[in-house]
Chain A
Amino acid sequence: METYGHSLNLIAAELVLMVSALVLLLVTAWIGDKASRSISIIAVGVLAVCAIITVPALAQGAGGLDRVAFMGQFTADAFAAFAKLLIYISAAVALIVAPAFFGRVGAMRAEYPVLILLAVLGMNMMVSATDLMTLYIGLELNSLTAYVLAAFLRTDERSAEAGLKYFVLGALASGIILFGMSLTYGFTGSTDFAVVRLALTGPLSTGALFGIIFVFAGLAFKISAVPFHMWTPDVYEGAPTPVTTFFATAPKVAALALTMRVAFDAFGEQAGAWQQIIIFMALASIIVGALGAIGQVNIKRLLAYSSINNVGFLLIGLATGTAEGASAMLVYLVIYVFMSIAGFVVVLMLRDDEGRPIEAIADLAGLSQARPALAWALLAVMFSLAGIPPLFGFWAKFVVFQAAVNADLIVLAALGIAASVIGAFYYIKIVKVAFFDAPSGRNATGAPVSHKVLLLLSCLIISPLGYLLTPWLGALADKASSSLFFVV
């Protein structure tokens, strides 16, 4: 039987996060920015502790009623654990790469790790939410910290602009979600996913349909799916690169996991209603992401369009509406996170003679002669993002399209995969600039050891060696997705 102690036990990782974030906040207030480095290290340690707390739930494939806390508001099942582990990894990377970046302009502040921890707490709530209220609290906690993080370089106009844009549009999206939730509540009488699911069985009323549509529209903003993607390139470009690394990974995982849970759990009985929306968003994201990237001259903007493109492929998995599709999405997310980490670490390692970061694609010219190892890493990331075998990025597309074909969405799969060729164009353009063009002479060597280690690890995973992980990864994703499909 559910007790308060049991519930607290299930949110152990969140408690650790919350307490340590608040304690570290007090420490920063007391000591100031001197401690920023040690606080970052402690924050990574906190994430590691949370990961240790979270792993058993995934390993056991936990699911069912005894993983539900606070009377259905919070679920700590294998699916949530899977997403949380990915979030911890992404957040840890964002913490590790930050000091070198901010340190150069003297802007490394002790609030950064605290904000990241609070964002992780919010994301943990998002992926565990089985109630619309928990969902909204987690979403807002994550979003508010994200707005601050985007504007973290206060003296930089682009960063401030990114923060403001993100805030205005994010607030609008939150409003849309709230409106959708209010309609859903009004037509089902509950905010609990399980009750909503039961109430939505059978024919769908127009009001409830609007509720579903508004909730998905708001979520589409958070995962930057077309047509709610406009903020992404500006925010990615303007935000400091470590923050962009963070935005491209952790919140994407959280928002997609949240979308999956809302789609399969709360609105699981009305798959027919949301499937069309998802199919449209998937194809539109793939095509707009691919076409939009072609003209970009800034690599961060290009990676922003690339993330829109990737969300499109992920949504194909969601459109299947099957457990296989959900599992494929999780595999895709893992590979996507590592591709993004590798890609952004490469960007962070690019610098000119005076140590200024390089962001213009034209300045990458001849990178293969100036910095061969970095160029090969960039090549691996680009071909992997394009989904060209034998790089591991192919496997991500492989499982998603296989799920789509097995769910009889053959036309969607064929259109999606044909559109992926458009995307390949701009990925190979980066390779062309780095390998074929004459050196620009702007690339200077040297990077912090931490960056090199991160790049090596993530490149090993996206290299063909990653295929050796497929049985293990597939088994974990299956466990996680089956816990999602556990119907109360």
Chain B
Amino acid sequence: MNGFPILSIMLVVPLLGAIACLFSQAATARRIALVTTLINFVLGVILWANYDIDDAQWQFTERADLFAGFSYALGIDGIALMLIMLSVFLMPVCIGASWLSIKTRVGEYMAAFLLMEMLMIGVFAAQDLFLFYIFFEAGLIPMYLIIGVWGGDNRIYASYKFFLYTLLGSVLMLIAMFWMANEAGTTSIPALMVHDFPAGAQTWLWLAFFASFAVKMPMWPVHTWLPDAHVQAPTAGSIILAGVLLKMGGYGFIRFSLPMLPEASGELAWLVFALSMIAVVYTSLVALVQHDMKKLIAYSSVAHMAIVTGALFSFNVVGLDGAMIVMLSHGLVSGALFLCVGIIYDRLHTREIDRYGGLAINMPRYAVFFLLFTMASIGLPGTSGFVGEFLSLAGMYAVSSWLAFVCTTGIILGAAYMLYLYRRVVFGVSRNPDAAALPDLDRREWAMLVPLAAVTLWMGVYPESFLAPMRADIRWLNERLAVASPAGDAKLMMPASNGPPSGLPATVQRVPVQEAH
């Protein structure tokens, strides 16, 4: 792969597809979009296949001095690789989910989605501070259009809220970036990741970054844009929002806040913990009382993301591993759940839970997939959710047993609201004749659900495939954070440092084994 600019090509392919879609008729635009996203998926697989776990931290680097003030620099580490894979994997599903449900202005819709794909890959691949910012912010424009043009009844309010909330969060980050670039004399992210900023300034910088990433994540109390945006967005918009856009917040923490500002991260971890604990319990309780399926899943996303933030700031390898797996798992599972909602929404055009019931009778295959993803969301062993949540909680326990305790209640509440949702929609007798007459999955829906289910199980059964590329980067990050690591209250002998205590699953035990050689 030497010298082959695969990352640039992954950016250019969707861009060209978007331009082509803009000038195409509906049927052609759908095909162009599907082919484009599949090509990008194949490129993603090639990228993963050629990513060398034992090689340098930054691979596939490209650099060109096209601009004044910042440079066009791309490159990925294992963490970015996994998130890029998530993006390119979800995109064909999004196109499939919009195949029939989007009937108006299809060309523009597909163009907006392909543009979105380009910007998402750009965010994860950017190695320059300001290039990252441009990709990060630019995503607002296509998403604003997707929600506003093709969204539900209350789409205008939701699109405004989404746009202004995320914009307000991000602009302060830009000021922090200016300060950092001026102080360190470089805009290169890898260089900034090893630059030691003065401890006094770190707090302010950290808060500026936090404003942006907390909104994007979203963390309580700035999460309120998310349920509105999710409910009003078209199905594919929700998938991409939950699947990838929320991960940009987590990626921001792991790429900027933690490595660049370790001392401030340590000092302010209590803030993250407090907000995470509130979010887990509060949003889970809110999810319990929802009547709208999408809103319920949206609140569950906030709860899951709170587990991610708690685990990210646990300052140990297990927690960081767990946070990453929860992010990947949540990307798949919440995307799949939104897809499941979209499938019945396309048939009945309502998201009211009470309008459904007894779907297991007339849609048995659908019920199976919905059950699988419900279980994965709850964190049933064997699904991706379990691995992520287990590692996250184990990591959190090392730093704060209260945090782990409160977040565990989130898992229990998660089981409550998800099972309650499932019971009301799928089990019981058919209360509504129109819901009872719904046809089961067609071939297009099979084609979307099967890959999602397969990867969910794969990640649940053999997470090593996903952990391996990130291992070196997470270990590096952990060493970088060691200076600021809080003492913790659990007095645990963590497996990463002192051998595996009995009872931990294979994934955790592998860490020291790998370190031995």
User: Which residues of A are at the interface with B, using a C-beta cutoff of 8 A?
Assistant: 368-369, 383, 388-390, 394, 398-399, 401-402, 405-406, 410, 413-414, 417-418, 420-421, 424-425, 428, 431-432, 435-436, 467-468, 470-471, 473-475
Given A389-B133, A389-B137, are A405 and B67 also a contact pair (CB < 8 Å)?
A: no
A402's partner among B67, B135, B178 (CB-CB below 8 A) is B178
What are some 15 contacts across the A-B interface (CB < 8 A)? A388-B137, A390-B135, A398-B69, A401-B174, A405-B175, A417-B171, A424-B163, A425-B160, A435-B145, A467-B66, A470-B68, A471-B66, A473-B68, A474-B68, A475-B68
**Chain B's nearest CB lies how many Å from the CB of A51?**
24
B167 touches A421 (CB 8 A): yes
User: Which residues of B are at the interface with A, using a C-beta cutoff of 8 A?
Assistant: 65-69, 105, 108, 130, 133-135, 137-138, 140-141, 144-145, 148-149, 155-156, 159-160, 163-164, 167-168, 171-172, 174-175, 178-179, 181-182
Q: Chain A contacts of B67 at CB under 8 A?
A: 467-468, 470-471
**Chain B's nearest CB lies how many Å from the CB of A309?**
15
B178's partner among A401, A467, A474 (CB-CB below 8 A) is A401
A435 touches B148 (CB 8 A): yes
A413's partner among B65, B69, B134, B175 (CB-CB below 8 A) is B175
A413-B175, A417-B171, A471-B65 provided; 13 other pairs, C-beta below 8 A?
A383-B141, A388-B141, A390-B138, A398-B174, A401-B174, A401-B175, A402-B181, A406-B178, A410-B175, A421-B167, A432-B148, A432-B156, A474-B68
A436 touches B167 (CB 8 A): no
Q: How far is B280's CA from A110's CA once the two chains are assembled, in angstroms?
A: 72
**Chain B's nearest CB lies how many Å from the CB of A316?**
12
B171 touches A421 (CB 8 A): yes
Given A389-B134, A417-B174, A435-B148, are A474 and B164 also a contact pair (CB < 8 Å)?
A: no
B182's partner among A369, A388, A405 (CB-CB below 8 A) is A405
Instruction: Determine chain A's interface SS by DSSP, over half rule.
Output: helix
Q: Chain A contacts of B108 at CB under 8 A?
A: 368
A389's partner among B138, B148, B163 (CB-CB below 8 A) is B138
**Chain B's nearest CB lies how many Å from the CB of A434?**
11
B172's partner among A369, A389, A418, A467 (CB-CB below 8 A) is A418
Q: How far is B144's CA from A428's CA once the two chains are assembled, in angstroms?
A: 9
Q: Chain A contacts of B155 at CB under 8 A?
A: 436
A388 touches B156 (CB 8 A): no
A406 touches B182 (CB 8 A): yes
B159 touches A432 (CB 8 A): yes
**Chain B's nearest CB lies how many Å from the CB of A366?**
11
A414 touches B172 (CB 8 A): yes
Q: Chain B contacts of A401 at CB under 8 A?
A: 174-175, 178
Given A424-B163, A467-B67, A470-B68, are A410 and B171 also a contact pair (CB < 8 Å)?
A: no
Nearest 3 pairs of A and B residues by beta carbon: A405-B178, A474-B68, A389-B134
**Chain A's nearest CB lies how many Å from the CB of B112?**
11
Nearest chain-A residue to B140 (Cβ)? A388
A428's partner among B65, B105, B133, B160 (CB-CB below 8 A) is B160
Nearest chain-A residue to B179 (Cβ)? A405
**Chain B's nearest CB lies how many Å from the CB of A481?**
14
**Chain B's nearest CB lies how many Å from the CB of A325?**
13
**Chain B's nearest CB lies how many Å from the CB of A19?**
39
**Chain A's nearest CB lies how many Å from the CB of B311?**
30
Q: Chain B contacts of A471 at CB under 8 A?
A: 65-68
A436 touches B168 (CB 8 A): no
**Chain A's nearest CB lies how many Å from the CB of B238?**
18
Q: How far is B156's CA from A471's CA once the two chains are assembled, in angstroms?
A: 39
Nearest chain-A residue to B65 (Cβ)? A471
Q: How far is B68's CA from A471's CA once the two chains are assembled, in angstroms?
A: 4
**Chain A's nearest CB lies how many Å from the CB of B515?**
41
Q: How far is B72's CA from A467's CA once the two chains are assembled, in angstroms?
A: 11
A388 touches B171 (CB 8 A): no
A402 touches B172 (CB 8 A): no
B69's partner among A399, A417, A435 (CB-CB below 8 A) is A399
Nearest chain-A residue to B173 (Cβ)? A417
A424 touches B175 (CB 8 A): no
Q: Chain B contacts of A473 at CB under 8 A?
A: 68
Q: How far is B69's CA from A436's CA once the two chains are assembled, in angstroms?
A: 36
**Chain B's nearest CB lies how many Å from the CB of A389?**
4
Q: How far is B159's CA from A421's CA once the two chains are assembled, in angstroms?
A: 15
**Chain B's nearest CB lies how many Å from the CB of A121?**
33
A436's partner among B65, B66, B159 (CB-CB below 8 A) is B159
A424 touches B164 (CB 8 A): yes
Q: Chain B contacts of A399 at CB under 8 A?
A: 69
**Chain B's nearest CB lies how many Å from the CB of A403?**
9
Nearest chain-A residue to B23 (Cβ)? A372
Q: Chain A contacts of B69 at CB under 8 A?
A: 398-399, 402, 470, 474
Q: How far is B105's CA from A180's CA once the two chains are assembled, in angstroms?
A: 59
A425 touches B164 (CB 8 A): yes
Given A398-B69, A424-B167, A428-B163, are A388 and B138 also a contact pair (CB < 8 Å)?
A: yes
Q: How far is B68's CA from A50's CA once the two chains are assembled, in angstroms?
A: 29
Given A398-B69, A424-B163, A468-B67, are A431 and B182 also a contact pair (CB < 8 Å)?
A: no
Q: How far is B70's CA from A399's CA once the two chains are assembled, in angstroms?
A: 11
Nearest chain-B residue to A472 (Cβ)? B68
Q: Chain A contacts of B175 at CB under 8 A?
A: 401, 405, 410, 413-414, 417
